[in-house]
Amino acid sequence: MNKAILITASVLGITSVILGAFGAHGLKELITPEAQQTFETGVRYQMYHAILLLFVGTTVHVRLKFKKQIYFFTLIGIVLFSGSIYGLATNALTTFDFKIIGFITPIGGLLLIISWTLLFVNFLKMKH
């Protein structure tokens, strides 16, 4: 399980750096400054949660049951949250109207909150 978590964290980190550079340079002339800030929010949250998964995958202080749950909720949360933000920020560049799936952004955010809550509950249940 740890290997899968760490590989996923690495992929999320790599892609967040790539997308961050793309947003700062490749999209600069193509989307509005407001859309650029929106895109950057998706990148930032993706990186934050890559770091969360790096921690979860390397620590012995998170029980396996919680690791699996945190991994699942974080991964799906990032796909929904950051993925929908990327689409919404670049909406003007595509023929697909990402606004019709904008409702998944808060669902992704909720899944990320659940991930952090599971980590918190794991720590509360720790026996010292």
Per-position pLDDT tens, the chain of length 128: 999 999 999 999 999 999 999 999 999 899 999 999 999 999 999 999 999 999 999 999 999 999 999 999 999 999 999 999 999 999 999 999 999 999 999 999 999 999 999 999 999 999 87
Tally the domains of the chain: 1
CA atoms within 13 A on the CB side of 88: 21
What span, in angstroms and rounded, lies between the C-alpha atoms of 50 and 75? 9
Cα distances (angstroms) measured from residue 96 to each of 22, 87, 93, 100? 20, 9, 9, 9
Residue-range definition of the domain harbouring residue 47 = 2-124
CA distance between the termini of the chain: 24
pTM of the model: 0.93
Q: Give the model's pLDDT for residue 128.
A: 76
Cα 1–chain centre separation: 19
Helices marked H in 22-103 — which ranges? Answer: 33-58, 64-89
